[in-house]
Amino acid sequence: MKLSQGVEWCLHAVVLLGQLPQGTVLPRTLMAQHHGLPDDYLAKYLKQLVRAGVLMASTGPRGGYRLARPAERITAWEVIEAIEGGQSFFHCQEIRQCGTGAARPAECTEPCAIHQMMHSAFLTWKDQLSQTTVADLVQQVPEHVRERNRQGLLNA
Amino acid sequence: MKLSQGVEWCLHAVVLLGQLPQGTVLPRTLMAQHHGLPDDYLAKYLKQLVRAGVLMASTGPRGGYRLARPAERITAWEVIEAIEGGQSFFHCQEIRQCGTGAARPAECTEPCAIHQMMHSAFLTWKDQLSQTTVADLVQQVPEHVRERNRQGLLNA
DNA sequence: GCATGTCTACTCGGATAACGACTGTCCGAGTGCCCCTGG
DNA sequence: CCAGGGGCACTCGGACAGTCGTTATCCGAGTAGACATGC
């Protein structure tokens, strides 16, 4: 099992936007070149971020993507949710109710122990990612790198 | 992203073995019938549990699978690790070192913020599953269900 | 000089192939038990 | 009646197709700005 690489790309894209002055619009081409990513394929994922309300897109000259909200109010989980769908990666098939040892529906009023454990672990994972904002990630980028990125992107 | 269904099957299989007297050997056919699973396909996953040292297999008449250790000393994570590989589901591609905005290797002595966050969340997930043993899961199965399973499987 | 209309270049969005992993199935290898046979 | 050997049924293990999701790519729709033109 592995996450789509789009998760990494989108997180980097959002962090990149978070390094620029609030409201800055960045064309996809620049983003892709900055990280050495295929422009067309990156579009597939950024589109999903727009749908999820994380980014806003504008077309035409001087168009591009910008953060839909201040970086402090966008969590890493929102980005992952937009790409991966946000549902638990464990899907209980209720096999306890199948086969010769099937439990009766009356005995299955609540999820089985395995389901509960997996769901609990997933919530822990999700919660941890929900507590990290894009602003937190931006702050961990060294200042001189941020400055270099601003110079490279705003003057382009 | 989703976990292989083999994870669910194997967890149920291990919990089922944990309900029987210690050292009980159960043929795969019975296991599959008990949960209504395809026997041949289940083999694919149980094999991996044997390789990982979670189960022990014996062939021939009266053969089958049994727990390699007492249920108290087998964790849920071990089962998942045997099926899914145990590595983090986030693979950092170091795209910060690619493209026009590439960081120099000297600036990348430690993982990037995104990598650190994802890895930390993964460890939390993994640790939580490592703290749950098969015995814990067995105890959450209602006693009358356990008794019914014992009757159904040992007398077969 | 200014307003207006058109035209061009730029940007995002949706639709369409190629690849790989998970899913599903088959047959062969090995082993322990049972039964038959001979003493 | 007992010991030994052969046969058989049972079980796991590895190898081979099918299906779905991720990956990768292309082209079209729409828009904002710039330029030329007429007043």
Report which of residues 3-32 in chain A place their beta carbon less than 7 angstroms from any atom of strand C.
27-29
Averaged over A18-41, what is the pLDDT? Answer: 95
> Testing the interface with A: which of B1, B9, B14, B130 to mutate, by most A Cβ within 10 A?
B1
Strand D close to B27 by CB, under 7 A = yes
pLDDT at B153: 92
Q: Give the model's confidence band at A39: pLDDT under 50 very low, under 70 low, under 90 confident, else very high.
A: very high
> What are all long-range contacts of A48-57, with beta carbons under 8 Å and residues at least 24 apart?
A48/A6, A48/A10, A48/A82, A48/A83, A49/A10, A49/A13, A49/A14, A49/A79, A49/A82, A49/A83, A51/A82, A52/A78, A52/A81, A52/A82, A54/A14, A54/A78, A54/A79, A54/A82, A55/A14, A55/A17
pLDDT number for residue B92: 94
For residue A70, the enclosing domain spans: 5-154
Distance from residue B57 (CA) to nucleotide D27 (C1'), in Å?
Answer: 57
With a 7 Å cutoff on the CB, does B58 touch strand C? yes
Q: Which residue of B has its CA nearest to A152?
A: B101
Residue A48, CA: closest nucleotide via C1'?
Answer: C13
Q: Considering its fold, how many domains does chain B have in total?
A: 1
Binned at pLDDT 50, 70 and 90, residue B35 comes out as: very high
Question: If you average pLDDT over every residue of chain B, what do you get?
Answer: 95
Residue B29 has pLDDT above 80, yes or no: yes
Taking only the tens place, the pLDDT of each residue in B50-95 is 999 999 999 999 999 999 999 999 999 999 999 999 899 899 999 9
Q: What's the pLDDT at A155?
A: 80
Q: Domain of A58: which CATH number? A: 1.10.10.10
Q: State pLDDT tens for residues A45-95.
A: 999 999 999 999 999 999 999 999 999 999 999 999 999 998 998 999 999
